[in-house]
Chains A and B, each alone.
Chain A
Amino acid sequence: DIQMTQSPSTLSASVGDRVTITCRASQSVSKWLAWYQQKPGKAPKLLIYKASSLESGVPSRFRGSGSGTEFTLTISSLQPDDVATYYCQEYNSYSWTFGLGTRVEIK
């Protein structure tokens, strides 16, 4: 099974800061990597698919990059509405694997 290592587990930054979350796969998942935002009591919201494609309606301050085993989600200018937990997900294999999540807080 593919393992997804996501870091950091918690991140505290100021409004306007650039924020980066990293996800590393134990084997290549090619471009089949998604990023989700989840707020308490809500379903995960798709932000990025195929590693770098922005889902319709998602603000352009969210950017995904990477391929193979190393991936990054960048928020170019952190906003109060971005407080949430973020998950990476590989969907290259039949059994999807998720990172453990990164909780993003405002300092």
Chain B
Amino acid sequence: EVQLLESGGGLVQPGGSLRLSCAASGFTFSSYAMSWVRQAPGKGLEWVSVISGSGGSTYYADSVKGRFTISRDNSKNTLYLQMNSLRAEDTAVYYCAKKMGIAVAGTGDYWGQGTLVTVSS
């Protein structure tokens, strides 16, 4: 059974940093690309970033480019999102999602339960 468990969310001040983790199990982690999607309170879904199975390819939404870094440790079956220079508009539930193949194309077939990030002074 595919399981994705996000952690690392919390309250942070504007300009601060936070690192989210997503622990994966139930599948061969290195064989699948992974992505992050966020949802501001009461709003719709926003795609944030994607990384290939090898970690060699990464892409970002313009809204986070230069501030967020996606990475993965295939030996630990864990996906990360390093978030720097956080802004109030980054407040959201952050979901990790398993993609359907090793490349970044395609969609996410399984999602975690999400972790809430609140940026506020």
State yes or no: do A and B come from one complex. Answer: no
Give residues in A with beta carbon < 8 Å to B: none
